[in-house]
Amino acid sequence: AGILARHPVALAAGSTEQQCLRTLQEQHGDSLPIAYLQRLTQAWITTAWAHRPVSAEQVRTLTQHWQQMDRLEANHA
């Protein structure tokens, strides 16, 4: 299941990326998935809004962290 399926939260239409993250943190704390989502969102903001694509190494690191987090959560389910 995805992060929002495991950590449900009502998000207002038109919320910015940072507002969504703040709402998630307020309601669910700084869990591993939310910390990951912060890193992923920052990569998205840098690429989409600042027009500075993240490096291939950053993409690999994010992918590895997602896989590790997914395994950790599966082991605790």
Confidence of residue 76 (pLDDT cuts 50, 70, 90): low
Q: Where are the beta strands (DSSP E) in 1-77?
A: none
For the segment 6-46, what is each residue's pLDDT rounded down to a tens digit? 778 888 899 999 999 999 899 888 888 888 999 999 999 99
* Residue 28, number of CB atoms within 10 A of its CB: 15
Please tell me the predicted confidence (pLDDT) of residue 1. Answer: 54
- Complete DSSP assignment for 17-63: HHHHHHHHHHHH-S-HHHHHHHHHHHHHHHHHTS--PPPHHHHHHHH
Distance CA 54, CA 74 (A): 28
Residue 27 identity: Q
